[in-house]
């Protein structure tokens, strides 16, 4: 897909496939936010990867992650709360490690500095691997579609690009047997010896599914600055909301 826009949660589309008993893959490029290894110029997006696999349990396996250390949204939350960001999340205009989210957000508007790829700065902790994953998403999304690369999105050259795939497990064998086989792995991972201080081992997507169930039952929890923003916006637009 090319010349599109922000498509929301990457996992939503992968989940659509898994609801039909299929393996789902959803990728997208984004606005330029990520400084690739040894650079200080944001040319790649946070380029998320979503992968959903049907299981015999209550929830499917749902991996939904940015290929950057964090998303831009994390910076915005820290900025609203006047909190510093950890070293290793982002760099400033000169490519130096930054801890002030407001400064990083301003730098991004100037197309200087930005978020770091998964693994962080340089190669010591695998930052080049996160860079490689972001590049993979870019090639499958904008490369195959002949669409805009991240650094050209939201310009006269076009919008965001996406990649979707749905794989039928039946191509490889009996779906029921595959689910049963996969459950062996899942159960073994979850009953592994826990690290000191850890209370539980989670499967990818499990926290989010449980949080969604809780929110549907009790409502969505928001922080005070977000509440104030919603309140001011509702007053400005003369819209009554109940929070």
89 within some domain = yes
- The CATH number for 195's domain is 3.30.1370.60
216 within some domain = no
| Structure confidence by residue, pLDDT tens digits, 72-95 | 889 998 998 899 999 999 998 888
211 within some domain = no
Would you state the pLDDT for residue 26?
Answer: 98
Q: How many domains does the chain have?
A: 1
112 within some domain = yes
18 within some domain = yes
Question: Who has greater pLDDT, 178 or 158?
Answer: 178
Range of the domain at 171: 10-204
Indicate the pTM of the whole model: 0.87
How many beta carbons lie within 10 A of that of residue 241, not counting itself? 10
| Structure confidence by residue, pLDDT tens digits, 179-202 | 999 999 999 999 999 999 999 999
CB distance 91 to 13 below 8 Å: no
| Structure confidence by residue, pLDDT tens digits, 103-127 | 999 988 888 899 999 999 999 999 9
228 within some domain = no
**DSSP code at position 143:** I
Instruction: Specify the 3-state DSSP secondary structure of 41.
Output: coil
Instruction: Report d(CA 50, CA 135) in Å as an integer.
Output: 15
What is the DSSP pairing of strand 42-44 with strand 34-35?
A: antiparallel
- Beta-bridged to residue 34, according to DSSP, are 44, 115
83 within some domain = yes
53 within some domain = yes
């Amino acid at each position: 897909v090319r010349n599109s826009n922000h498509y929301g949660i990457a996992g939503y589309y992968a989940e659509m496939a898994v609801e039909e008993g299929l393996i789902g893959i959803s990728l997208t490029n984004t606005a330029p936010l990520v400084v690739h290894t040894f650079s200080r110029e944001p040319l790649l997006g946070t380029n998320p990867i979503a992968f959903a696999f049907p299981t015999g349990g209550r929830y499917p396996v749902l991996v939904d992650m940015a290929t950057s250390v964090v998303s831009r949204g994390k910076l915005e939350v820290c900025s609203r709360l006047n909190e510093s960001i950890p070293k290793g999340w982002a760099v400033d205009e000169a490519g130096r490690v930054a801890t002030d989210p407001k400064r990083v957000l301003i730098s991004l508007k100037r197309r200087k500095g930005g978020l770091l790829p998964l693994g962080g700065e340089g190669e010591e902790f695998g930052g080049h691997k996160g860079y490689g994953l972001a590049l993979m998403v870019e090639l499958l999304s904008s490369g195959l579609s002949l669409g805009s690369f991240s650094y050209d999105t939201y310009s006269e050259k076009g919008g965001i690009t996406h990649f979707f795939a749905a794989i039928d497990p039946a191509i490889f064998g009996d779906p029921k047997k595959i689910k049963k086989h996969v459950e062996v792995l899942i159960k073994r991972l979850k009953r592994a010896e826990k690290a000191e201080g850890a209370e539980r081992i989670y499967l990818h997507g499990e926290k989010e599914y449980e949080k969604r169930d809780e929110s549907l039952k009790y409502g969505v929890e928001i922080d005070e600055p977000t509440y104030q923003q919603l309140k001011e916006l509702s007053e400005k637009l003369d819209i009554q909301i109940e929070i």
